[in-house]
Structure 1
Amino acid sequence: MAEQQPTGEDFGFDFYHYDPSQGAATLFVVIFALSTAMHGYQLVKHRTWYFIPFFLGGICEALGYAGRIIASTETPDWTLGPYVMQTILILIAAAMFAASIYMVLGRLVRLLQAEHLAIIPVRWTSKIFVTADVISILMQGAGGAMLAIAETMDAFQAGENIIVAGLFVQLAGFGVFIAVAGVFYARITKNPTRAADTVDIPWRSYMWVMFGSTALILIRSVFRLIEYLQGNDGYLMSREVYLYIFDAILMLVVMILYNVYHPSRIIITSKASKNDGFQSVYSSEVELQTV
C-alpha cells in the first residue's frame, strides 16, 4: 500500500483557504503550453540557445498550474505533493524568464556598437545578473524542497522563509538591472551611435519590451514577496484571484511579448575597427527575420 501523503492537517493549517479553480488552472495550462511550444519552435529554428532558461520557465508555468488542477480534484483533502509542485514551479518560472531577459541587454548593446555607454562592461552584464538570478532560483528551489520534506510546522515555515529570502535577492537583481538598462537607454537616446541611427531594426521596441517584461516580473515578485510575508492565512494567499491577476496573467504577457519580439529575429554580422579613438563600422548586416 502506497504511503499516504501529508495533508494540511499534519501541519496545523490548510494548504488553501479556497477551493482551487480547475477551470482557471486548465485555461492557463493550455495557454502557457501553447506559448511555450512556440518558444521551443523559435529556439530550435533560430538556435537562440540563451533563451533556453526562458523556454524552461514556460514549462514550469504549465506544470505548475497542472499541479493546481490536481489540487482541485482533492478538495478539501489536499495533499502536500501537488501543493509543493505548484508552489516551486510557479515561483521559479519568473526567475528563469529573467535569466534570459538579462542576456538580451548585452546583445542590444553590441548591436548598437555602444559598449562605451554601458555602466557595466558588456562581458560582465550577463554574468553578474544571471549569477544573482541563479542564486535566487536555488534559494527558492531549496525553500520549496524544504516544504516537500517538512515533517513539522517549524520546518515548513523555515522553507517559506528561505523562499522569501530568494525573492528579496530576485527583487534586488531586478532593481539594479532596470537602473543599468535605464541609464544605457538614456545615454544612447541622448548620444546615439552611428549604428543606432542606421541599423535596420526597431531596437527601441526591443528595449521597451525588455523594460516592460522586467517591470511585469518585478510587480509579480513584489506581490509574491508580500504574499509570503503575510503568511499562509494572509489576505493575498487566502484569495486565489490575486494569484491569477498578479502572477499568471503577468507572466503570460511576458511570454507572449517574447513570442512576438523574439530576440532570435536579430542576426548581426559586423566588422569594426578603431579610427582616431572612434569606432566605425565598415560593414554591418542586420536581418529581421520573420518567425
Structure 2
Amino acid sequence: MAIDYKFWHYTPSIAGAVIATIIFALVTGFHMFRLFKNRTWFCLPFVIGGLFETIGYAARGAAHSDTKSVTPYVIQSLLILLAPILFAGSIYMILGRIIQRTAGSSLSIIRPQWVTRIFVAGDVLCFLMQSSGGGLLAKAKTQEDVDMAQNIVLGGLILQIFIFGFFVVVAGVWHARLGKNPTGASKEMGGVWKKWMWMLYAVSACITARNICRVVEYGIGQDGYLMQHEWTLYIYDFLLMIITLAICIQWYEPNIQISAARSNDVEVGPWN
C-alpha cells in the first residue's frame, strides 16, 4: 500500500544546525591543516568524515524552511549517518601503524597489514549497506519499502558494531601482550604508545555508543522517541562525533609514519 512518507517528525532547529555546522567546520579545518602540515595521509578519512558532518548539518539547517524537500533530507541523512564509518577507517589504520612502530607485530593476533585490510574492508561493506539503505528510505513509496530500507541500515549498523567490537578485542589483546613483553622500540617510546592506545579506546567507545543509539533509533522505527525528538540526535551523534574528532586531532604525528625499515619490524631510531 502506498504511503506518504514523512521525512521529519519535527521542524529541524536552525540554531542547532548552524552551531553544529560551524563547530564541525572549525574542527575539520584544524584536521585539514594538520593533515597537510604533517603529511599523515592515512588520516584523510577524518577530514572527509568531518566534511560529511559539516555538510550534513548545513543541510539540516536548509530543511528548516522546507521540511517536504527531498534533497536536504537525503543529504543530511546519508552524510551524518556515514561519517563515523570514515572515522573508524582511520582508527583501524592507526592501530596498524602503532603496532609496526613499536615492532610488536608478533604480539598481535592479526598482522598489522591485515588489521587495516580486514577492518577497512568491513568498513566499506558497512558503508555500502548504510548508504543504500538510506537512499532507499528517501525513495520509499510503500510501508514495505520503508521497512526494507530501515532493516538494511539497521543491518549495516549492527555489522559495524560487531566489526568494531572485534577490532577492540584485537587492540586490547595486543596492548596487554606488549605491556607484559615490551619491545625495544616500545621502551624507546616511553608511555607514548600507551597514551595513544587509551585515546584509541576512547574514540572507539564514542563511535560504538553512537552506533548502539542509532541501532535503537532504527530498531524502534518512525514512531519511536528518538526519531520524533531532535535533541536526541545532538546528544548521541553530534556530541559524540565532535568528541571523536577532537581526540583524533592528536593522531597527526609524523613519527607514527612507517618507514621502509620499520615495515618488517626492524627497530629504527628513537621515538622523538
Q: Does TM, scored on the shorter chain, surpass 0.5?
A: yes
Distance 2:199 2:172 in 1: 13
Structure 2 residue identity aligned to 1:43? L
Alignment of 1:159-170 (within 5 A): 159-170=149-160
Q: Distance in 2 between matches of 1:107 and 1:215?
A: 20
Is 1:193 equivalent to 2:193 in the alignment?
no
Contact 2:137 2:149 in 1 (8 A): yes
Deviations 1:233-277 (A, max 9, x none): 1011111111111110000011111113434453565857x9xxx
Higher RCO (CA 8 Å, separation ≥ 6 residues): 2
Residue 37 of structure 1 corresponds to 29
Matched residue of 1:286: which SS? coil
Contact between 1:104 and 1:263, CA under 8 Å: does it hold in 2? no
Where 2:110 maps in the other structure, the secondary structure is coil
2:219 equivalent among 229, 232, 235: 229
Structure 2 unpaired stretches of 5+: none
Is the Cα–Cα contact under 8 Å of residues 102 and 130 in structure 1 kept in the other structure? Answer: yes
- Which has more radius of gyration? 1
- 1:65 paired residue among 57, 71, 90: 57
Number of aligned residue pairs: 271
1:107 and 2:97 correspond: yes
1:253-264, aligned counterparts within 5 Å?
253-264=243-254
- The farther-off stretch of 44-53 and 32-41 is 44-53
Alpha-carbon contact 1:29-1:63 (below 8 Å) kept: yes
2:123 to 133, 155, 169: 133
Same amino acid, percent of matched pairs: 39
In 2, Cα distance between equivalents of 1:84 and 1:191: 50
Match of 1:284 among 250, 269, 272: 269
Higher helix fraction (1 or 2) = 2
TM-score by length of 2: 0.92
CA drift of 1:13 comes to 4.9
Q: CA-to-partner distance for each residue in 1:103-153, whole Å, 9 max, x for gaps?
A: 000100011111111011112110000000100001111111212333333
Gap runs ≥5 in structure 1: 1-9
**Could you tell me which residue of structure 1 aligns to residue 46 of structure 2?**
54
Structure with greater strand percent: 1
